Amino acid sequence: MKLPKAAELVKEGCIETLSYYDFPSEHWRSLRTNNPLERIMKEISRRTRVVRSFPDGQSALMLVAARLRYIAGTKWGTRRYLSMERLKEMKKTARAV
Protein backbone atom coordinates (compact mmCIF):
# COMPACT_ATOMS: atom_id res chain seq x y z
CA MET A 1 0.00 0.00 0.00
CA LYS A 2 1.37 3.42 -0.92
CA LEU A 3 -0.44 5.40 1.78
CA PRO A 4 -0.40 3.30 4.97
CA LYS A 5 -1.14 6.24 7.32
CA ALA A 6 -4.15 7.32 5.26
CA ALA A 7 -5.41 3.74 5.10
CA GLU A 8 -5.10 3.43 8.88
CA LEU A 9 -7.08 6.65 9.41
CA VAL A 10 -9.87 5.40 7.14
CA LYS A 11 -9.89 2.04 8.92
CA GLU A 12 -10.08 3.67 12.38
CA GLY A 13 -12.82 6.13 11.41
CA CYS A 14 -14.98 3.71 9.44
CA ILE A 15 -17.15 2.61 12.37
CA GLU A 16 -17.72 6.19 13.55
CA THR A 17 -18.42 7.41 10.02
CA LEU A 18 -21.08 4.79 9.42
CA SER A 19 -22.66 5.04 12.88
CA TYR A 20 -25.71 6.80 11.44
CA TYR A 21 -26.83 3.40 10.13
CA ASP A 22 -27.72 2.51 13.75
CA PHE A 23 -30.65 4.94 13.53
CA PRO A 24 -33.92 4.51 11.58
CA SER A 25 -33.44 4.80 7.83
CA GLU A 26 -35.69 7.87 7.69
CA HIS A 27 -33.03 9.76 9.68
CA TRP A 28 -29.97 8.75 7.68
CA ARG A 29 -29.93 11.73 5.31
CA SER A 30 -30.42 14.22 8.13
CA LEU A 31 -27.71 12.67 10.26
CA ARG A 32 -25.01 12.51 7.62
CA THR A 33 -25.48 16.09 6.37
CA ASN A 34 -25.48 19.46 8.05
CA ASN A 35 -27.56 21.35 5.50
CA PRO A 36 -29.40 23.59 8.01
CA LEU A 37 -26.13 24.79 9.51
CA GLU A 38 -24.63 25.34 6.07
CA ARG A 39 -27.69 27.35 5.07
CA ILE A 40 -27.40 29.58 8.15
CA MET A 41 -23.68 30.14 7.59
CA LYS A 42 -24.25 31.01 3.92
CA GLU A 43 -26.93 33.54 4.89
CA ILE A 44 -24.67 35.15 7.52
CA SER A 45 -21.79 35.24 5.05
CA ARG A 46 -24.01 36.91 2.46
CA ARG A 47 -25.11 39.55 4.97
CA THR A 48 -21.60 40.31 6.21
CA ARG A 49 -20.24 40.52 2.64
CA VAL A 50 -22.63 43.41 1.95
CA VAL A 51 -21.19 45.42 4.85
CA ARG A 52 -17.59 44.48 3.94
CA SER A 53 -15.84 46.27 6.80
CA PHE A 54 -17.18 46.44 10.34
CA PRO A 55 -16.03 49.23 12.67
CA ASP A 56 -15.52 46.69 15.46
CA GLY A 57 -16.24 43.09 16.40
CA GLN A 58 -19.30 44.10 18.38
CA SER A 59 -21.13 45.41 15.30
CA ALA A 60 -20.40 42.19 13.39
CA LEU A 61 -21.67 40.18 16.34
CA MET A 62 -24.85 42.29 16.48
CA LEU A 63 -25.54 41.65 12.78
CA VAL A 64 -25.04 37.90 13.16
CA ALA A 65 -27.14 37.76 16.34
CA ALA A 66 -29.94 39.72 14.67
CA ARG A 67 -30.00 37.26 11.77
CA LEU A 68 -30.04 34.27 14.14
CA ARG A 69 -32.92 35.83 16.12
CA TYR A 70 -34.84 36.31 12.87
CA ILE A 71 -34.27 32.67 11.85
CA ALA A 72 -35.31 31.44 15.30
CA GLY A 73 -38.52 33.48 15.15
CA THR A 74 -39.68 32.39 11.70
CA LYS A 75 -41.28 29.17 10.53
CA TRP A 76 -37.89 28.00 9.23
CA GLY A 77 -36.44 28.29 12.73
CA THR A 78 -39.22 26.25 14.31
CA ARG A 79 -39.21 23.47 11.71
CA ARG A 80 -38.21 20.15 13.20
CA TYR A 81 -35.16 18.65 11.53
CA LEU A 82 -35.55 15.17 13.02
CA SER A 83 -38.60 13.41 14.40
CA MET A 84 -37.76 12.04 17.81
CA GLU A 85 -40.81 9.76 17.73
CA ARG A 86 -38.98 7.23 15.56
CA LEU A 87 -36.09 7.16 18.04
CA LYS A 88 -38.52 6.61 20.93
CA GLU A 89 -40.08 3.71 19.02
CA MET A 90 -36.64 2.27 18.35
CA LYS A 91 -35.75 2.53 22.03
CA LYS A 92 -38.98 0.74 23.06
CA THR A 93 -38.31 -2.02 20.55
CA ALA A 94 -34.75 -2.43 21.85
CA ARG A 95 -36.02 -2.77 25.43
CA ALA A 96 -38.58 -5.38 24.41
CA VAL A 97 -35.91 -7.56 22.82
**What stretches of 1-97 show up as alpha helix (H) in DSSP?**
4-17, 28-32, 35-51, 57-73, 75-78, 84-96
Residue 81's pLDDT is: 65
pTM of the model: 0.48
pLDDT at 37 (0 to 100): 78
**Would you state the pLDDT for residue 45?**
87
Give 20-51 pLDDT, tens digit per residue: 777 777 777 777 677 777 888 888 888 888 88
pLDDT digits (tens, 9 = 90+) for 55-85: 887 888 888 898 888 888 887 666 666 667 7
Contact 71, 44 (CB under 8 A): no
